[in-house]
Amino acid sequence: MSRIVVIGSGVAGLIAAVEASEEHEVILVTKADLAESNTHYAQGGIAAVSSDDDTVAEHVADTLVAGAGLCWEPAVEVLCKKGRKRINDLVKFGVNFDRHDGDFARGLEAAHSHARILHAGGDATGAITSDALVAAVRRTATEIREYTFVAEIVVEDNRVTGVQVLDADGMHFLSADAVILASGGAGQLYRHTTNPAVTTGDGVAAAFRAGAVLADVEFYQFHPTALAVPSSFLISEAVRGEGAVLVDAHGERFMHKIHPLAELAPRDVVARGIQQTMMNQGGQPVLLDATALGSSYLAERFPSITKACRSYGLNWGSEPIPVTPAAHYWMGGIATDTFGRTSIPGLFAVGEVACTGAHGANRLASNSLLESVVFAHRAVKALSKPWPEDAPSVRWADAGRVAELELVEPDHTSSAQVVDRVELQTLMWDSVGLARTKTDLDDALSQLHSWRPADPAHRLFPDWEDANLLLLARTVTEAALARAESRGGHFRLDYPETNPACARPITLVRKASSC
């Protein structure tokens, strides 16, 4: 029996822990409460083919179109083909998807050719899925370590041997035969994000320091419609799928002038359309008008959003609500193959922490939870297989398609100013956000180089998070500079067109470690 350390308690980590515990000794590590993750806040649902009028081929095609020419097709095929089986797994775990006439209720979201989004509790899919899987984890023999921070991934003789973790009793080493990273994304890189406070990219940063290859990190997806309030509460894509429209300060629709699919265009298109409209009206938010759906229907179909609106004194059944883009999902991450294997033997990555290539430059709505379930399952299956001798994925190994960047890590021993998180988030939002230019990126990189992380010997949880955010901010900025085109979630004002010659991933590797 092998000893497996699973890091993270979103849907990917929970699935991995439950399934791995059937044959292995499993330790599940999470830096907060077991139920706290991006998964818990997901509203829209899970995309999967589950009706006779839909096909896997059409789901694949929709994913490839949204991915803007950068999807890795083998990963897309796996993602879409395995969807129905993994949905059945979730049902067995106790996820009660909404039903209509005895069958799954299916919603429509942007850039999907069919209504294939399965949801639970109306707009509480993430919370219901998380709750069911948390209960499943607690029923297993899995050892659970909450409020435990993974500081470093330990590699000896080119293979993972465990992790260094920090808890209330100090730093400890947990040995492992394999590590499954499922620690989520890095929404806290940006001033406005729909992600919870725990999303500081810790797994990606630790893997990078350990020598893992990163890919596509310049592609950050900004959700078009977050409620324009301090918490940036997410307003699900499904609302527009049900018929809500976007209007400017004068009450006029604008998305139909930008894209044939109007409000249901790919997320990057809608987000930039909103941004431009906001700039045209002095920075004021645009409005999401769902009044045609009626208060009763909105309360039934979207109870969580209705409750959130009321908490801010908004009645979205009778008046449009203010919305703005916010950082939502990272398409980039740790490069993996279709079994979650990274460039370091013994290290797996699944969920948002990973870059399988399935999302390309722009994730198709509601493919994220599906990716977590599908690839977590495959990673567990691969635990008992020999590690391949060659690179884990031909996508990253094909030198004809890969441009490598070498990145030197920030040096904590310098006399530079210790990084301030709010300043970093503001810099990233202003200069490395929805629209980028070489000048802004150069200036941002210069500023990032003027900051340093705190001394590791005296770091608390927030200090480790800040160090990780600083490292990842530099990776995103470096990659954004290297991609001299606009594609998907990466938009350059100085290179507004997509360049077919740039239809390849950009990978980053560690050059030196000094912290």
What is d(CA 66, CA 448) in angstroms, rounded to the nearest whole number? 31
CB distance 234 to 41 below 8 Å: yes
DSSP string for residues in 451-505: EEPPPGGG--HHHHHHHHHHHHHHHHHHHHHH--S-BTTB-BTTB-S--GGG-S-
Residues 249, 412 contacting (CB under 8 angstroms): no
Using an 8 Å Cβ cutoff, are 299 and 255 in contact?
A: no
Quick check: helix, strand or coil at residue 106? strand
Residue 48 and residue 32: Cα distance in Å, rounded?
30
Token pair of 427 as six digits: 């810099």
Q: What are phi and psi of 239, to 5 degrees?
A: -65, -45
Sheet containing 220-227: which strands, arranged edge to edge? 220-227, 321-330, 286-289, 245-247
* Active-site position among 116, 145, 209, 267: 267
Identify whether 267 is a catalytic site residue. yes
- Gyration radius of the chain over CA positions: 21
Question: CA 188 to CA 132: how far, in whole Å?
Answer: 27
How many Cβ atoms sit within 10 Å of the Cβ of residue 229?
A: 17
* Nearest CA-CA partner of 60 in 39, 82, 90: 82
> In this structure, are residues 327 and 199 in contact, taking their beta carbons and an 8 Å threshold?
no
Q: What would the two tokens of residue 99 be?
A: 């039903």
Q: Which helix (H) or strand (E) holds 509?
A: strand 506-512
Sorted by sequence, the CB contacts under 8 Å of residue 283 that are 6+ apart come out as none
> Catalytic residue positions?
267
